[in-house]
Amino acid sequence: MTDSPRLPGLTLADADWLVASALAVSAERGFPPLAVAVIDVSGAVIVLRRADGGMPMTSRIAVAKSRSALMALQPSGQIQLPGAIVDSIQHLHGGDFIPFAGGVLITEGGVVLGAAGASGAHAKEDEEAVQTAVDRWHAHRSRTE
């Protein structure tokens, strides 16, 4: 039996670690219950979890924020486009484009490994949770390598 090929980037263990860390950051800082998604470089969801008490719609928004960051190659809150262009991109991607804070790229050495997104708190808090998780993940990896 041959090994199946896989996309470069995040493993399931990485994605689990990132989501758990973002949910922990949210709890530590007293944010409302979040949904957190981690996607691979193709935009497919690796892990999606919603904290107890989180609104159901936050799951889809977390995925959309992560995909927005991936498509724009920048944090979703930094996307600056006119409304008509945003509407067109949303149409092309089935509504999975949200230019609001909460989606961040996961990179290593300038290479995109995937993206993470959160929803459920204020947009800046969503982004703070996932960016802090990514920063902690990098620190964790440097200690274990």
pLDDT of 96: 85
pLDDT in tens, 33-43: 999 999 999 99
Q: What is the mean pLDDT of the chain?
A: 93
User: Does the domain at residues 12-144 carry the CATH identifier 3.40.50.970?
Assistant: no
Residue 132's pLDDT band (boundaries 50, 70, 90)?
Answer: very high
pLDDT of 1: 57
pLDDT in tens, 82-98: 888 888 988 888 888 89
In degrees and rounded to multiples of 5, residue 114 shows phi and psi of 165, -160
Whether the per-residue pLDDT at 117 is higher than 90: the answer is yes
Helices (H) and strands (E) in the chain, counts: 4, 4
